[in-house]
Amino acid sequence: MMAPAHALTRRPGRVRRFPGPALGMLLLLPVLAGCSPIGTAETVGVFVAVQATQERGLGTALSDDLIWTKVQARWLDNDPDMFMRVRLQIQEGRLLLTGVVQRPTARVNAVRLAWEVEGVNEVIDEIQVSEPLDVGQALQDQWIAQDLRNRMLLDSAVRSVNYSVEAVDGILYLMGIAQDKTELQRVIDHARDISYVRRVTSWVRIKGEPPPPLPAQTEPAQGPTGPEPTIPAVKATTTAAS
């Protein structure tokens, strides 16, 4: 029986990383299918079908997964601490870097190493330089990110498979492809309605349109919020509603 690979850790949107959003799953398929060739084939078929339903297409999805894995490997080799603290979202070769690091040099290196990977078209730097988040905030970030994923999944007017979500210090970062502006606004409204979300930053591309220019579309939160940040965490100058 093939054992799961643990060369890398913490996948986007999770506490731990595995080798790429899709490639890591492919490595785990024999385990998930009980090492049965038939089970593995069925699991691969379902997995590929899900990838193919994404707006970016199967080929682009797999290319993004390969880039994701290569960037993570470079981070791990260069600076394991930075690797653990910086999160990565990718869509059509566009990379969104978030997280909190203590050293400005770690932020610079994360961006530089990401650019070194073939196939990268853009690197969006949303990394914060600050003291590490406490355990309570980190757990809260995981909760609000998962809450938004669940809300999108349950909303029949949103194709949730086209979105990725990260939360850092109460700020929700969105990336993906929206069918239209109405769908994107529904996602943003879901995000703003979640308790303790202080800000929503969208790097989502509208289908048939180019990616959003700098700065990203940013919305203040509407629900109950935590304390105001002492340092702006995103490029746009908006504040959370009280």
| Domain ranges for the chain | 23-129, 135-220
CA gap 25, 20 in Å, rounded: 8
- Decide which of 229 and 211 is more confident: 211
What CATH number matches the domain at 23-129, 1.10.15.40, 2.40.50.100, 3.30.1340.30, 3.40.605.10? 3.30.1340.30
Q: Can you give the pLDDT at residue 213?
A: 76
pLDDT over 50 (residue 18): no
The residue-averaged pLDDT of 199-209 equals 95
pLDDT over 70 (residue 111): yes
Cα angle, residue 11 at apex, residues 233 and 216 outer, rounded to 5°: 30
Distance separating the N- and C-terminal Cα atoms of the chain: 54
CATH topology for 135-220?
Answer: Histidine-containing Protein; Chain: A; (3.30.1340)
Confidence band for 211, pLDDT divided at 50, 70 and 90: confident
Q: Do domains 23-129 and 135-220 have the same CATH topology?
A: yes
Q: Can you give the pLDDT at residue 56?
A: 79
Residue type, 44: V
Q: What are phi and psi of 120, to 5 degrees?
A: -75, 125
Confidence band for 238, pLDDT divided at 50, 70 and 90: very low
CA gap 111, 79 in Å, rounded: 13
Report CA Rg, the chain.
Answer: 18
Confidence band for 2, pLDDT divided at 50, 70 and 90: very low
Confidence band for 223, pLDDT divided at 50, 70 and 90: low
Confidence band for 192, pLDDT divided at 50, 70 and 90: very high
Of 63, 86, 64, which Cα lies nearest the Cα of 17? Answer: 86
- Burial code (b: 16+ CB inside 10 Å, e: under 16) for 154-190 equals eeeebbbebbbbbbbbbbbbbbbbbeeeebbebbbeb
E strand or H helix at 189, and its extent? Answer: helix 181-192
Q: Which of 66-80, 105-119, 224-238 has the lowest mean pLDDT?
A: 224-238
Q: Using DSSP bridges, classify how beta strands 163-168 and 171-178 pair: parallel, antiparallel or unpaired.
A: antiparallel
Q: Can you give the pLDDT at residue 217?
A: 63
